[in-house]
Structure 1
Amino acid sequence: MSFLYGKVKRMGTFIYTYAGYEDELSLRALEMRSFFGIESQTNILESPVKIDPSRSPFMKERIAVILETESYHELLSKTAALETEQTFKVIYVKNGSVEEPFEKRRRIEREVGLQIKGKADIRQPERLFGIMNLGGGRWIFGDYVESESVWYQHQQKPHQYSTALSTRVARAVVNIAILDPTGIKAIDPCCGIGTVLVEALSMGIDIVGSDNNPVILAGTRENIAYFGLSCEVKFEDMRNITKHYDTAIIDLPYNLCSVISPEVQLEMLQSARRFADKVVVVTVEPIDEILLVAGFNIVDRGVAKKGVFIREVIVCR
């Protein structure tokens, strides 16, 4: 059921709140640019683009703005014109808001909740509403969605690989590669133990995997199945791929068992240039020159850090 608005006009704006560590800021900004075309230097971002906050490892919440007022009293007055047939709960969103003591936040929630025509339910509401005080005369009220840390659930899988991407980084890389999954066919041609595949599949992305190391592929398939997911995983050298894909996500091999020369890297990337329109490359080595020789244009980039260990994430077309 939707609101019965009366004279209240709904605004087409979404406000996202963010969290993260210092080492993640570059990757977080790259994900923001990929989703929204902009980035924010703060822990909130406003956009007309609607994204499920559970897609991102960095997003905490999303508010679909229904009301924006210059003062709390004006907000309180306007919420009195709102009505919903669903049970609801009102939440004061701390992240990104002017800091208020616990007692004041609860008072605001109660006061606003009492204005809305409908049945409040603090335990199992059918609908959540959020309030934010952004400061500078900006009070926000709207539909509230909290992010679910899906990537965290994927950390515990049957088979691990010491050099694999973390689930958190893998999820961000998938988002950087694919904004809207609708109609997209993707491939991870160096899929390893399947970390990227699991994150992509959990977001409903049509993706397949391949790798030229047959030893790990049984574990890859088991990891995918462990989470109730499925996709094709083939033993195949990416240089031999003939099918065409909209997007390829390539975490270039770099451990002691899979050292590849610049010549082989070039062959791999030239093949990717042939079978995919867009390629996101994850690398621990500088490869700009090789990408350019392979025929790619580098359109954006970011860095994923873990202590002193650094991976570059490069978006190419």
Structure 2
Amino acid sequence: MKNFALIGAAGYIAPRHLKAIKDTNNNLIAALDKFDSVGVMDRYFPNADFFVEFERFDRYIEKIKRNNVNLDYVSICTPNYLHDSHIRMALRRGADAICEKPIVLNPWNLEALMDIEKESENKINTILQLRLHPSIIKLKQKITSGSKNKKYDIDLTYITSRGKWYDISWKGDESKSGGIATNIGVHFYDMLSWIFGDVQENIVHLRESHKSAGYLEFENARVRWFLSIDENDLPGRVKVVGQKTFRSIEIDGEELEFSSGFTDLHTKSYQEILKGKGFGLVDCRRSIDIVHEIRNSELIRLKGEYHPFVSKK
């Protein structure tokens, strides 16, 4: 049984990490969040110590270490801009880090963490759960075994409705979240680069606070992508049935079915990490490069390959 601490216990994604720690038969000894609405912990680890101040949390971690209680992992579910700092804290305390994506916002942050990881005896892991999705694994096997010279034509569309709270929260602040493409798109870019190879072209057609779109060309794929949190972008057939999310990946005109199978992907991620097979800094480098370029690229007029949803804007 390994000992875990968790930072960001009141966040949206924290319950998946709590469940994963529980499902893998491990123990949560401490949790931190500046917000105290963490009743979800009763379902998993009611006896874990809880802190609302980082200083007291950090002092507690140091104290238990002096009392020969080993902290093995720190799970990080905090806002994107804080990941870097909290990963460093985990390594300083002699623990491995398990961090939600995006692991950092900028490529140079990744390089600095690589140096720090080398200096420590610990590992930095990130959650890239799409790589563990059965349909995505099957697709990768198909592409890997196919022609090395073929380029697939792909339309990626992801619309996940968000309310007015989004703009007020840290997610609506690009300096903290990285913007739409980073916040809700980074795991798709990771999946695409994992399957289709290095990026050859990265063009941005639309970049607004609630939506973004562009064109990515990989070694084996041409991808038109569209991401949005505006429910007005939902297709009519989706609105009619009351759905608030639309997720689609179309490859050479065929829909990739991957709407199900997400339930236990965090638990699977933890199982691989505990076996020493987690995804590290090198694995997420391409996706961090992609989103950084999307944030900083010059917008290109609508010409050539662009997502059909953009023409409606």
Structure 2 length as normaliser, TM-score? 0.24
**Structure with more relative contact order (C-alpha pairs < 8 Å, separation 6 or more):** 2
Bigger Rg, structure 1 or 2: 1
Higher-helix-fraction structure:
2
Higher-strand-fraction structure:
1
Structure 1 length as normaliser, TM-score? 0.24
